[in-house]
Amino acid sequence: MILPGLAYLAVFFVVPFYSLARTSLSSSGGSVFMPELTFAWDFGNYSQAFGLYQDQILRSFGYAFVATILCLLLAFPLAYVIAFKAGRYKNLLLGLVILPFFVTFLIRTLAWKTILADDGWVVDLLGSVGALPSEGRLLSTSWAVIGGLTYNWIIFMILPLYVSLEKIDPRLLEASRDLYSPNRRTFGKVILPLALPGVLAGSMLVFIPSVGDFINADYLGSTQTTMIGNVIQKQFLVVKDYPAAAALSLLLMALILVGVLLYTRALGTEDLV
């Protein structure tokens, strides 16, 4: 029963990585219109890619890290209220949380372009309380890109958090109370440890797509905020320097794979979907 599915994934998920690896070790010739690749064990592509795009790699990981933290801070109170305080409105609230994500990702990001515009009310508001970034605007800054990343993947933080909070047996909280634990302590010693699988799963599900994204940087950022995804996309589809782009992709995948394998080793795969 598992054979057809696994065979499909072998051909269209594993073999592509072989192609990618082969491409990353080839040397390129020909023109932009007809690139010619010859396989040459050319590891130079890797050192070259890393040397040229170090900034973008670091920036991607930095942005994704900040976006993940922001998602966690925003998602926790909401998931908490839905899990413990919503009562009969629980399902309605869950539906409301999911609803915005029925609008195409690109259009949502475009809407942020309107909201964060230089003459918009958000900039006015932040300007009047003196909270604008040093550029004096929001659009085209790192914060706009990080904000976009946070918005677009926060749902992947809310849902796992909700699931792990929902599983907490209320009797444990009562027990903690009955044993005279102050609320703060109940939170730190009971709720947080039990919510940890959700926190970790959510962080992974937010961090990974954020690292590889190029749309937020493209729509909301500037040339100063390009991420590794922008480089890979451009090298593959515009410049057509396949070996360099392939080397960068594999580098990114390798870095992420280490994290994923550590995660599944420690916690299994059950909290991820």
Partner 1 sequence: MTIQDRIAEANAQIGEIKPKKPFLGGLRFGDSALRVVAGLVLFYLFLPIFVIILFSFNDPKGKFNYTWQGFTLKNWADPFKYPALTEALKMSLNIAAVSTAIAVVLGTLLAIALVRQRFRGSKAVDTFLVLPLTAPEVVMGASLLTLFLDFGWASGYVTILIAHIAFEISFIAMTVRARVRGFDWTLEDASMDLGATPTRTFFKVTLPLIVPGIVAAAMLSFALSLDDFIITYFVSGSTVTYPLFVNAAVKAAVPPQINVLATAILLISLLLLAIGTLYRRKRIDS
40-48, 50-58, 95-103, 130-138 -> range binding partner 1 (CB under 8 A)? 95-103
Cβ nearer to partner 1, comparing 82 with 195: 82
For residue 214, CA distances in Å to 34, 65, 85, 194, 211 come to 26, 15, 37, 34, 9
**Given candidates 66, 138, 159, 215, which one binds partner 1 under the rule CB under 8 A?**
215
- Stretch near partner 1 under the rule CB under 8 A, chosen from 19-27, 51-59, 129-137, 192-200: 19-27
Q: Which of 67, 82, 123, 165 binds partner 1 (CB under 8 A)?
A: 82
Pick the closest to residue 251 from 40, 61, 36 (CA basis): 61
H or E element, residue 29: strand 26-30
Among 58, 96, 196, 239, binds partner 1 (CB under 8 A): 96
216 lies in the binding site for partner 1 (CB under 8 A): no
Identify which of residues 134 and 247 has a Cβ nearer to partner 1 in the complex.
247
Residues 37-76 that bind partner 1 (CB under 8 A): 74-75
| Contacts (CB under 8 A) with partner 1, residues 98-127 | 99-100, 102-108, 110-115, 117, 119
Q: Which residue has the tokens 């959510």?
A: 202
- The distance of closest approach from Cβ of residue 47 to partner 1 in the complex, given in angstroms and rounded to an integer, is 19
What is the pattern of x (binds partner 1, CB under 8 A) and - over residues 142-181?
A: ---------x--x---------------x--xx--x--x-
Tokens found for residue 8: 């499909």
Q: Which residues 225-264 are close enough to bind partner 1 by CB under 8 A?
A: 228-229, 232-233, 236-237, 242, 245-246, 249-250, 252-253, 256-257, 260-261, 264
| Burial of 235 per CB tally in 10 Å (0-12, 13-18, 19+) | buried
Torsion of CA 130, 132, 136, 137, to 10 degrees: -140
Name residue 39's beta-bridge partners: 26
C-alpha neighbours within 13 Å on the C-beta side of residue 236:
14
Q: What angle do CA 251, 245, 224 make, to 5 degrees?
A: 90
Of the pair 99, 134, the CB lying nearest partner 1 is at 99
- The single residue among 78, 126, 194, 200 that binds partner 1, judged by CB under 8 A, is 78
Residue 132 per-residue DSSP state: -
Q: By C-beta, is 134 or 149 nearer to partner 1? A: 149
Distance between CA 243 and CA 38 in Å, rounded?
10
CB of 232 to partner 1, least distance (A): 5
Helix, coil or strand: residue 26: strand
